[in-house]
Structure 1
């Protein structure tokens, strides 16, 4: 199974797990959380670390980038959370060049199930957002050609938190990201040498992102209890 297919399978498995966990957790916990006090869940501030795999990198099915970074989350209301992140990706190109991508952006997360103060073990969500991307490509060697480009991107997908306890969670998400801007490609000549080509026209360029993160709720910035209905 090639790299392209592996990531398609991973994405499909993520979708299946998302739907399965939504159904099972909703039924299993409905009675358990029936009498839980209704506290306003907005105000939670979290910090976390993340690792991301990028597939279909820049039109190359075999191109896989590995990234790492950090994030913070600020929950606005019960089912709506925000995520602010920064990532650095590295991608080897045929052993002859390297590409680095720097992402800074934000996302909005909508929880399919009410987190119930995150006492619920699984909290699946849909996510969408925007980021800025700086790409730097360099041909290996002291005098290797180098080029960079700055672009904007949008991303959307699904994910799920596994809440080890109400403050600490592990999150897995799958998103597709589309870049809008100048294209930056690496080509190989007939003699084996590499060169970088920049296309000045605007076009779409996309890739699949699979992220795993750990997050800890540091503080609740505002508190409000609601009366039981």
Structure 2
């Protein structure tokens, strides 16, 4: 996981340097319809059995802007972490966000608030015995704050933090023949804090109102 993280961090440092030579997009009527595509590096923070677990992952995302103050984002990512001292936890998210911008004009730093629904897949398996595992799909929802760092008219680096809450089946630990076993243990809610860094590029105007 550390090697993967270093490779993506290198890309994040190099790509902005290539963006300075990009020509600005000329908006003819409105910003609505701009389609963006990007990559994301999420970090997850959760607590189990009194231990803080830190997850790291990779993902992709796209945006379709609805107007000057509104944007939509669609994403998928996958995170891995240790769960306590003896287990590995993996989470896959497929979700969407509605972004609200308080500013009137596009600026170098552009804050926003966001919220949206998710489908969450979680699997936990014992570190020394992969067959001792349990998994489930749940509905989830998230909300948080973020900001775009607009490094050019066509590209941005986005920092965001959100809390995601899962609703549905929970994975717990049972005992069979005095051995811990991971299994579905009732229903309820649980969640984790997410911090995400992403790099995005404006690709095309789906409403055909931009001139390149």
Please give the TM-score of this superposition, normalised by the length of structure 1: 0.73
Residue 57 (structure 1) shift? 4.7
Tell me the SS of whatever aligns to 2:139.
strand
Unaligned runs of 5+ in 1: 1-36
Partner residue of 1:22?
A: none
Residue 94 (structure 1) shift? 3.9
Unaligned runs of 5+ in 2: 1-26
Change (3 A) 1:211 1:183: same
8 Å CA contact retained: 2:49, 2:84: no
Residue 66 (structure 1) shift? 1.0
What's the Cα RMSD here? 2.5
Q: Distance in 2 between matches of 1:188 and 1:214?
A: 45
Partner residue of 1:158?
A: 145
Partner residue of 1:180?
A: 167
Partner residue of 2:190?
A: 205
8 Å CA contact retained: 2:59, 2:78: yes
Render the CA deviation track for 1:49-93: whole Å, top value 9, x for unaligned: 001111125675511111210000000111110000001010113
Partner residue of 2:181?
A: 195
Partner residue of 1:15?
A: none
Moved runs in structure 1, 4+ residues, more than 2 A? 57-61, 93-96, 140-144, 185-189
Of the three residues 76, 88, 107, the one matched with 1:98 is 88
Of the three residues 122, 135, 151, the one matched with 1:148 is 135
Q: Distance in 1 between matches of 2:193 and 2:128?
A: 30
Q: Distance in 1 between matches of 2:46 and 2:175?
A: 18
Partner residue of 1:81?
A: 71
> Between Structure 1 and Structure 2, which shows a larger proportion of strand residues?
2
Render the CA deviation track for 1:166-220: whole Å, top value 9, x for unaligned: 110000001011100111135799x9x64314222x3111111111100000011
Change (3 A) 1:64 1:151: same
Residue 142 (structure 1) shift? 4.8
Of the three residues 118, 124, 140, the one matched with 1:131 is 118
Instruction: Kindly indicate whether residue 66 of structure 2 is the aligned counterpart of residue 67 of structure 1.
Output: no
> Between Structure 1 and Structure 2, which shows a larger proportion of helix residues?
1
Change (3 A) 1:208 1:143: closer
- Number of matched residues? 184
Please give the TM-score of this superposition, normalised by the length of structure 2: 0.78
Q: Distance in 1 between matches of 2:197 and 2:174?
A: 32
